Amino acid sequence: MVVLVGFMGAGKSTVGAALSAKLGWPFEDLDERIQASEQRSIERIFRESGESVFRQLEHAALRSALEAPGTSAKVLALGGGAFAQENNAALLDQAGVATIFLDAPIEELFRRCQEQQLDRPLRRDLEEFRRLYENRRPCYLKAAVRIETAGKSVEEVVAEAMARLASLGVKE
């Protein structure tokens, strides 16, 4: 299994889908798994139940994704805050999965989020966005691989991921 981590706008879902196609593995977005099981959006979960309940749901969804049959050959994209939660990072470490941190400059991440026009519960103004990123970045840096995505096409990021995964012994 390959797990993509990083901040909002890093390209985890886009790169994850392309990487899974290149590897010939299924792709899953953890936020989509949560929304399907809860029958409501992430934004609605935050609004109605709060971040702490969302984080509990996220942890349960990650555990379920890791325990599902056929997980050894899957690409999984985590939500922006998932890898910054100690219990989730510990689960991934215990599972021995390859983790890739997709990174970009904060202004680029903010711009991408604005362009997507998605309602992201923790994206407010640029300064709050920057503070949250800076708080989470040390956690993201614990991933096995870091790939800078700014100025690169999805194909270039996937090619770099494939090379880095090969050096970790992950095979198609």
Position 124 scores a pLDDT of 67
pLDDT at residue 116, rounded to an integer: 73
Kindly state whether residue 102 falls inside one of the protein's structural domains.
Answer: yes
Mean pLDDT on 3-29: 95
Number of domains in the chain: 1
27 is a domain residue: yes
For the segment 38-51, what is each residue's pLDDT rounded down to a tens digit? 999 988 998 999 99
Report pLDDT for 128: 87
- Domain assignment present for residue 157? The answer is yes
What is the band of 21 on the pLDDT scale with cuts at 50, 70, 90?
very high
Instruction: Kindly report the CATH number assigned to the domain that includes residue 87.
Output: 3.40.50.300
The answer to the question of residue 172 being in a domain is: no
pLDDT tens digits, 125-152 = 788 889 999 999 999 999 999 999 999 9
Domain that holds residue 133: 2-167
Reported as a pLDDT band with limits 50, 70 and 90, residue 123 is low
The 3-class secondary structure across the chain, one letter per residue, is CEEEECCCCCCHHHHHHHHHHHHCCCEEEHHHHHHHHHCCCHHHHHHHHCHHHHHHHHHHHHHHHHHCCCHHHCEEECCCCHHHCHHHHHHHHHHCCEEEEEECCHHHHHHHHHHHCCCCCCCCCHHHHHHHHHHHHHHHCCCCEEEECCCCCHHHHHHHHHHHHHHCCCCC
| Domain presence at residue 44 | yes
